[in-house]
Every structure is written in structure tokens, then in C-alpha cells.
Amino acid sequence: MAKGFYVSKIVAAVAILFSVAAVATIIALAVVYSEEKAKNNNNSEVTTTSTSASTGTSTATPAPSVPSASSPPSDNLWDKYRLPKNVKPVHYDVELQPHLEKNTAGLYIFNGKTTAFFVCSEPTNLILIHSNKLNHTLFNKEFHAILRDDALKEVQLTKTFLQKTTQFLVVQVNSMLQPNKQYSLYTEFVGELADDLAGFYRSEYVEGTETKIIATTQMQAADARKAFPCFDEPAMKATFNITLKYKPPYGAMSNMPAIRNTTVEEGGQQWIVTAFDKTPKMSTYLVAFIVSEFVSIGSPGNNSATGVQIWGRKKAILEEKQGDYALKVTKPILDFFETYYRTPYPLPKSDQVALPDFSAGAMENWGLVTYRETALLFEPDVSSIGNKERVVTVIAHELAHQWFGNLVTIKWWNDLWLNEGFASYVEYLGANKAEEDWNIKDLIVLNDVHRVMAVDALASSHPLTSNEDEVNSPAQISELFDSIAYSKGASVIRMLSEFLTEPLFVEGLASYLKSFEYNNTVYSDLWQHLQLAVDNQTSVSLPLKIQQIMDRWVLQMGFPVVKIDTTTGTITQKHFLLDPKSNVTRPSQFNYEWIVPITYQTATTQSIYWLQTKEGTVNEFKITGGNWLLANINVTGYYRVNYDDNNWDRLLNQLNTFHTAIPVINRAQIIDDAFNLARAQEINTTRALDTTKFLSNDTEYMPWQAALSSLSFFTQMFDRTDVYGPMKKYMKKQIEPVFYYFQNVTSNFTVRPASLTDQYGEINTLSTACSYGIEDCGKLALEQFGKWMQNDSKNEIHPNLRSTIYCTAIANGGETEWEFAWEKFKQTDNAQEAEKLRSALACSKEPWILNRLLEYSLDSSKIRRQDTISTISSVSGSSIGQSLTWDFVRSRWSQLYEMFGKSSFSFGNLIERVTRRFSTDFELQQLKQFKADNQNTGFGTAERALEQAIEKTLANIKWVNENKQAIKIWFEDSLKP
């Protein structure tokens, strides 16, 4: 899956100061994801049926002694989440018939028939097959199951029943099944085609005046069992013959191309039956099928050419041409990965489908990749460069999985980080192929490395790996999809690829894919094949085996900070903790020491040193004269760097005199490291502030972005205090020359700069300049917005600049500007545009307007329920909005709890956002009072966030007390000529 559900790096990159947009997206996505999770929670109700195989009819019998979820665990195999190893699937015939209109009970349903062919590996009289929410008592229908042996003779069953907690259909057999013999289990069932974004589900959209229905799938991680009974674990690979039955005018697609269409009469109506070609051996979580009225562009392919098509709503694809960009980049990316993996694309076609309702960002189903509309569709006149970057990186991510993940699959979900971390790294390589002049590979440092370090520096972090037996239930599996798996996974795999060099990495990778195609692996299998590649050559040598190096990074949480003393040449490492007093309770067999590839650069050399102990001495690290030493070149290593004061002085001196002598990525690194080292009390906060001085001369995006995200904490702590006056003046002074630089190169912000990072630089500059009060910036925003208001059928504001211009115009304007944007928000049918407008509505400085927006957020006829929390959070983004939001949340707590208390992700985020500025004793008291007042209602899934908010407020109070005075003086001094 793409990481869309927990983070949107694009929007985040674009609006740090108006940081509302970033969080809005994160939360919007999180809501969908947590709703999905919430809906998957089963009750422990047990339905029982027994089937008499000889007559084929079934009758209900009393429940056998199956415990409910609250009972103590039993020894029954069906009460454990993992499948026993007594049978192995070989093939499935799956026929599904979705009804795309409500039945008499007002439900959308689907009928299904499956035959699962399997081989018995140990004598057994018990078959467990996953099945979830199929034949719910709601349908008053029981499982119709028939077991046959390899001669197709029926085998007598004793009993079949559903175990809801572990999601099994339990089949007990009269006689023992024999090893090495093949059997088949036939089932008939009914499921609900619900709008719950999981399994076989329903999505809707409006075209003209008509509501259109889509039946589509999302199986990962454990929801194939919600579409048809199957052995639903990634190592249980099998082939699939999928057949779909539906009414015209719908069409159908699946992992493989259709091979046959027939029509049948049923209930006086005509149905189309489409049979799809047999799939290769694959995991159940990658199965997909869709029935819709979607249209496509591209080519379906033929015997000699892989088909590549982009599918979506007719209006989006054919009228607005929103799929054209995806079509343009998909083939080059697919070709790139064939070369990179040295393995042909394994399937005859690759379809990319844009769905109006989708839980994650995208899903790599083999041959039929599904996406949120915002992750696949792109409309040049409406979408921004950030939207475009998201499309190309998500496509690259999903196509990377077609080999790494789909052809070769992890054995069990505990290795998810390898699958997702790998794809999150190579997505940059694939996107780089499609957009060769973007330098997109550099951005991994901001989007993944720096970002996840913030999480991984907490004592509450966790290692990449987990033990197989710690991950069992669907809920435990869902929890693994976090930023550690995606972004830390990507960061350490990139580090590995860099120290091996890409040719060696690619060599080992190809050998791994070849050895395990259509099979499953554990992460150390990859290390082994990379080691083979290393052993087969002599030009790259490593101090230790790959496994020994990598174990330190994957088996223990966190990362080191290395400190280089350039007077003595000593280097030391220690576990980097943002709060040095925090208590690390998780033990590590390596004592939180790492094997660290230290790449470094001095005036005369560039080289690598392997730090293998807590401390070392390196002659080359001794620096004399005015020279400096810089370590972790281009941040290819997953660690932070600190220096002795002299070297810091020399680096800062270099930045202030001729900054381009230091590579652009390292200019961002110096800032990000310095601010984090200051938070951890490794260096003075004023030293960190010193690293921002050169920025008035630097027009590059990456260093500025590092500074803006580091300083956002300062804004939160100080924007209601007397520090903010001098801070604002300092920021204005720093951005001013950069603003006029961009004004000049873009002909007063009318033409876009060529490179991707320069476009981001322009956006950042404009939003910074406007928010720190550069008058020309505010004027520009009002002018452009005013022009749109005068001729409201024509929005000439460039999509890149819209978030900033909308926000500035609404912040500086009054009711008229706000009402205009509100109307536009209601009218637009472009999801990306709606998002930009909705977050800008929170930029108003009028308390009554903000309060009204808070009220609107609870009215689903005005703001969709999935956007409620992100809207409230975005209001809390400004200092005015923050206190209004805090009042609102306190007075509406029980209502909010009713609506969202059970959808974990988003609800916790709400507390986190609303309390983010808290840094006084008074606020701490209020927070504690809030906790006491609502003990009866409860905090549901925000419980942990509330505890963290109290802890963070305490830490903030301490930090402000210790640093406020020095920071104020620093800002004041920096303004003196």
C-alpha cells in the first residue's frame, strides 16, 4: 500500500506556516483508515451451521463449545488466529455476483461460489478456512459446503460452523484426509456489499444527476476472507480463476485479462458472465476485481506488448483528461523496473484504477492497481506540482511492488517493513525515471529520513522487526502500517544500497527475485543474496557481513547521534533521544550501539569510515586551520551528527560566506540536526538559530524547508508571547531577499520556475513572505483573489500558489472573501481543489467566522463527516483559532466522542493538534481539569494522546522556561545592523 493513510508529504512540504493544509490531509486520510479498522472489529457472536453433505441441505444446530472473545484461550485450533499447516491451497475458482441495486431489505449484497483446491500435508479431520462476514445471520443463510476428494467423490462432513473472532469457517470431517492427496471445498455464500472500504465493497459517485455504483476490492491485509472463503495468509499462494457476473451496462476487470464473456438469463434479467484468465501463483491479499462503468485510456496490450491502461470516472478520464499524466508516466516506470530488477513484468497487463472512495493511498493488487483519485488523477489547470509529485511517486511505489512484494512476498506480516520500506525507497528511483530533471531522489531526505527521525527519537519508538508470534490478529497486523515501517524502512534500505553501491545492490536484488519468484521470504533472505553479490567481487569491501551490519538497524529501535571532535580526531556514538531524560525501557541486545557508515568530506578528501564501536579515533578527523569537516554526505546514513564547537564555528562561517561549498542536502541536514540536537540539549538553542542566518542568501528549497519545519515549534511556543515580535522581524528580514529573488525570476509570480525544487521554493517563499507580513506579498494575494472574485467563472490563480493565496486573502480579508471561498468549496468537484479551499477557510482571523466554521464542521450537510476532524484541527492552526478550538472541543466533548471516539487515529490527532501550543502552567491546569471533567464520558481512542498532551505540555513549559530569554535576545541581536 502507499503510505497515504498516515502522511501526505506533498501538502506538508507546501504549507508549513499555514500548516493547516498538511495536517488536514493527514487527518482526512487517517479518518478513512481508522474507520476501516473500526468497522473490521468483530463481535464475538458465533453462528453455527452444519451441513449434511449427502443431501446438500443444511440445518442449524446448537453452537459447539466455541469460546467468545472474552473467554480464556482454548486449545482449539480455530481459536488461534494463524492457520494450521495441515493443508495447502493450490487453486481457487471464485465466482462472484454483485447486485448493484438495493435488495428488498434495503441492502446491497453479492452472491458467491468458491471452490478451493488444496493438498493435505498431514492427516487431519479438520479444515480451517478464513471467512469473515459472509453468510452473516442477517441474510438468514447458512454455509453450503461440500468437500470432495481427488476423484470428485463427496467426503462426509460432521459439522461446519463459523468462528467469528478468528474469522474461520471450521469444517469437521467424518474421516481422516490423507497426506499428498488433493481435495476441494465448495462453498456458496452471500456477503454485504457495504461502503466500508474493505473486502468486496461499494463506492458511489455522481455523474450528471445520476448516482453511479462501483463494486471494488481492498484485500490487504486480511480482508480477502470478507470477499470469499480462502486461506488468507500471504504464504498460502495459489492460482485463481476469477469469474464475475453482472448486469449491463457495467463492465468488469480483475488481476488478469478477460478470456470469455457469455450472457445468462436469471430472474427474467440478462447477466453478463466474464471469466478471467488464470493468475500465476499469488497471495490472497493481492487479488482484486472491480465492476463499474469506468472508462479507460491506453492500450489493453497483446501477445507481444504489456497492456497499460488508466481507468476512472468517465467525466474525469474522457472530458477532463485527468488520466493523461498517469498514462504518460506508467509505461516508462514499468520499463524502468523491468531493467532495475532484471526480471520481465510477470503479467500480461497493468491496469491503474482511480476510485472515489478508497481507504489507503493506493494498493498494489497484481495487475490491477487501485488508487485514491488524488493519487492517480491530475488536472493541469487545477492540480499543483505537489499533486503531480504525489501521482508519480505513488504509481512508482505500487509498480515497484509488482515484483518486490507480489512476485516475491514476505512470509508473514511481521516483515511488512521490508516490503513497504523497499517500495518507499525505490519509488524515488522509479519517479526519477519518469521525471528525469526533477532531482526527486534528494527529497527522500526531507520526506522520509528527517520526518521519521522525529518519531524514532522517542523512547516510545519500536524496532523495524517484530517476532512472527507477536503479530496474529488483524488489528495487530494493521498496526504495523506505520511511519517506522515505511519511512525508516526506506531510510535504512537506502543506506544499504548506498554503501553497497547501486550496481552491487541491483545484482543481489536480481538474484533474490530469481530465487524466490512465486514464493515467500523472510528479510534475511535478501541480506543473503546481497552478501553473495558482495562475495563475488573485489571492488567493494565491507568491514562485516551485511547481516551483522543491518541487524543493528533493524533489531533495535532508534538511531545514533555521532559526535566528531576535530581537535582530537575522536568519534563517539550514542542513542539519540529527543528528550534525554526519557526512560528507555525496551532492552536491546546491542546496547543501542550501531555499525555506522560515516561518509565525510574535508577540504581535501571525501571518504568513508566505519564506526563499529562506541568510540574511535580517526586521523583524518583532526582538522587544523580554517578548514571544516562535514559528515553524513547527502544524508545517506540514518544518523545525526554533532561536532566540537570549533568545527561548528567553521561550518557556520562557511555557510555565511559561501554557502554553496556545502552540498544542498547537507545545508538542510545541518539545520535539521542542529535544531534536534538543541532539543536534546546536546548543543545550545542559539547555536541552532545560528544555522538559519545564511538563509537570506540561499534560494534553495531544501535548507529553507528544514528551517521552516524546525522553526514551526518556535512559532507554536512563542506566537502569543513577546518573543514573537522580534522573531517575526527576523523571519521577515530573512525571507525578504528570497522573495524578491523569486519575484524577479518568475516575472512577479506569473511564470513557474523550471525545476521541481524551485517550484516548491517559490511556494514556500510566498507563504513565508505573506505570513510574516511582506507587503508586496499580501498585495499580490489580494489582487489575484480579487480578480477571481470579480470573474468567478475563471480562476486564473496558478494551482501551485492557490493554497497560499486563498489563505492570505482570507486571513487579510473579511466576510466577503470567506463567503466566496465557501461557495467555491461547495461547488468544486475536484477533490484536490476542495482540500485547498477547505483548509484556507480556517485562515480567517475573525473569531465569529472561525466559530461558525467549527459549527459547520459538525454538520454533515456542510462538511463531510470524514473531514470533520481535519477541519477542526485546521482552525486550531493559528493562535486565534487555537483558543476558540480548545473552548469548542471542551464544550462539545461528549458529541465529538459519540461521533469519533472509536476511530483511533484521527481522534487522538485532534487532541494532539488542539493542545500543541500548550506551554504554560495555566494551560496545564486546564488540561488536567478537562481530563477530570470528562472521566465519565471517557476519551476512547484519544486516551493515549491526552496523556501525551499532558506530558508534552510539561516538557514545553520546561523548554520555554529554559530557552525563552536566550531566544528573545538572539532574535533581538540578529536585528541589529
Ligand X SMILES: *[C@@H]1O[C@H](CO)[C@@H](O)[C@H](O)[C@H]1NC(C)=O
Which x/- pattern, by CB under 6 A, does the window 509-538 give for ligand X?
A: ----------x-------------------
- Interface stretch with Zn ion, choices 415-423, 750-758, 854-862, 939-947 (CB under 5 A): 415-423
Query: How far is it, in rounded angstroms, from Cα 630 to Cα 641?
Result: 9
Contact between 919 and ligand X (CB under 6 A)? no
CA atoms within 13 A on the CB side of 902: 9
277 binds, options ligand X, Zn ion, none, Cβ within 5 to 8 A by partner type: ligand X
Edge-first strand order for the sheet with 368-372 is 295-299, 307-312, 349-355, 368-372, 362-363
Residue 934 CA to residue 937 CA, distance in Å, equals 5
d(CA 507, CA 531): 10
Least CB distance from residue 322 to ligand X, whole Å?
21
Sequence-ordered list of residues with C-beta below 8 angstroms from that of 293, at least 6 positions apart, any chain: 212, 214, 249, 250, 251, 314
Q: Which is nearer to ligand X, 22 or 408 (CB)?
A: 408
- Establish if 579 lies at the interface with ligand X (CB under 6 A): no
Cβ(804)–Cβ(766) below 8 Å: yes
Identify the CA nearest to 30 among candidates 269, 429, 361. 361
Q: Using the minimum distance from each CB to Zn ion, give the nearer residue, 464 or 910.
A: 464
**Cα–Cα distances in angstroms (integers) from residue 937 to residues 327, 890, 926, 929, 931, in the given order:** 51, 12, 17, 14, 10
Q: Which of 906, 25, 10, 950 is nearest to 451 (CA)?
A: 10
Task: Please list every residue from 73 through 102 that binds ligand X, using CB under 6 A.
Answer: 91, 93
Residue 221 as a binder of Zn ion (CB under 5 A): the answer is no
- Residue 535 near residue 547 (C-beta atoms within 8 A): no
Partner whose binding site includes residue 258, from ligand X, Zn ion, none (CB under 5 to 8 Å by kind): ligand X
Site pattern 464..503 for ligand X (x: CB under 6 A): ----------------------------------------
What is the distance between the alpha carbons of residues 170 and 61, in angstroms, rounded to a whole number? 14
Contacted entry of Zn ion, ligand X, none for residue 91, CB cut-off 5 to 8 Å set by kind: ligand X
What is the number of helices (H) and of strands (E) in the chain? 32, 31
1 touches, from ligand X, Zn ion, none (C-beta below 5 to 8 Å by class): Zn ion
Q: Cβ of residue 248: shortest distance to ligand X, in angstroms?
A: 9
Binding residue per annotation — 130? no
Q: What is the DSSP letter of 756?
A: H
The residue whose Cβ lies closest to Zn ion is: 423
Quick one: which segment of 320-328, 336-344, 412-420, 666-674 binds Zn ion (CB under 5 A)? 412-420
Residue 296 or 904: which CB sits closer to ligand X? 296
Closest to ligand X by CB, 241 or 768: 241
Separation between Cα atoms, residue 409 and residue 237, nearest integer Å:
9
Of the pair 49, 520, the CB lying nearest ligand X is at 520
Selected catalytic residue, list 398, 427, 682, 817: 398
Q: Return the number of the residue (285 or 730) whose C-beta is nearest Zn ion.
A: 285
375 binds Zn ion (CB under 5 A): no
Which among ligand X, Zn ion, none contacts residue 188 (Cβ within 5 to 8 A by kind)?
Answer: none
Nearest distance from C-beta of residue 486 to Zn ion, angstroms: 8
Backbone angles phi, psi at 97, to 5 degrees: -130, 95
For residues 974 and 977, what is the distance between their CA atoms, to the nearest angstrom?
A: 8
Question: Which of the stretches 90-98, 327-335, 422-430, 435-443 binds Zn ion when contact is defined by CB under 5 A?
Answer: 422-430
The DSSP H or E segment spanning 257 is none
- Alpha helices, DSSP H, located in 616-752: 645-658, 664-679, 685-690, 701-718, 724-745
In the complex, least distance from residue 400 CB atom to Zn ion, rounded to whole angstroms: 8
Nearer to ligand X, 498 or 517 (CB): 517
Residue 499 CA to residue 971 CA, distance in Å, equals 41
By a kind-dependent CB cut-off of 5 to 8 A, residue 878 interacts, out of ligand X, Zn ion, none, with none
398 is catalytic: yes
User: Which residue in 31, 244, 423, 780 binds Zn ion (CB under 5 A)?
Assistant: 423
From the list ligand X, Zn ion, none, partner contacted by residue 423 (C-beta under 5 to 8 A by kind): Zn ion
Q: Is 397 annotated as a binding residue?
A: yes
571 forms beta bridges with 564, 616
Q: What type of residue sits at position 505?
A: F
Q: Closer to ligand X at the Cβ: 91 or 342?
A: 91
Q: Which window, 103-111, 414-422, 930-938, 956-964, contacts Zn ion (CB under 5 A)?
A: 414-422
Shortest separation between residue 466's beta carbon and Zn ion, angstroms: 18
> How many amino acids of this chain bind ligand X (CB under 6 A)?
13
| DSSP class of 226 | G
| CB hemisphere CA count around 532 (13 angstroms) | 13
Nearer to Zn ion, 1 or 477 (CB): 1
Contact call for residue 1 and Zn ion (CB under 5 A): yes
Q: Compose the 787-806 pattern: x for residues touching ligand X by CB under 6 A, - for all others.
A: --------------------
Strand partners, 189: 112
883: burial class by Cβ within 10 Å (0-12, 13-18, 19+)? middle
* Dist CA 138 CA 735 (whole Å): 63
Running DSSP on this structure, what letter comes out for residue 353?
Answer: E
| Binding track over 787-816 against Zn ion, x by CB under 5 A | ------------------------------
Angle between the 502-516 and 324-341 helix axes, to the nearest 10 degrees?
90
From the list ligand X, Zn ion, none, partner contacted by residue 427 (C-beta under 5 to 8 A by kind): none
Q: Does 889 bind ligand X (CB under 6 A)?
A: no
Count interface residues toward Zn ion (CB under 5 A): 3
Residues 10-29 contacting ligand X, CB under 6 A? none
**Per-residue string for binding with ligand X, 233-272, x by CB under 6 A?**
--------x---------xx-----xxxx-----------
Interaction of residue 277 with ligand X, rule CB under 6 A: yes
Q: What is the chain's alpha carbon radius of gyration, rounded to the nearest angstrom?
A: 29
Q: Cβ distance 349 to 309 under 8 Å?
A: yes
Is 401 one of the annotated binding-site residues?
A: yes
What is the Cα–Cα distance from 887 to 869, expressed in whole angstroms? 15
Stretch of 418-426, 463-471, 724-732, 812-820 contacting Zn ion, by CB under 5 A: 418-426
Summarize the annotated binding site for Zn(2+) as residue ranges. Answer: 397, 401, 420
Residues that bind Zn ion (CB under 5 A): 1, 420, 423
Binding residues: 397, 401, 420
Q: Which residues are catalytic?
A: 398
The residue ranges that bind ligand X (CB under 6 A) are 91, 93, 241, 251-252, 258-261, 274, 277-278, 519
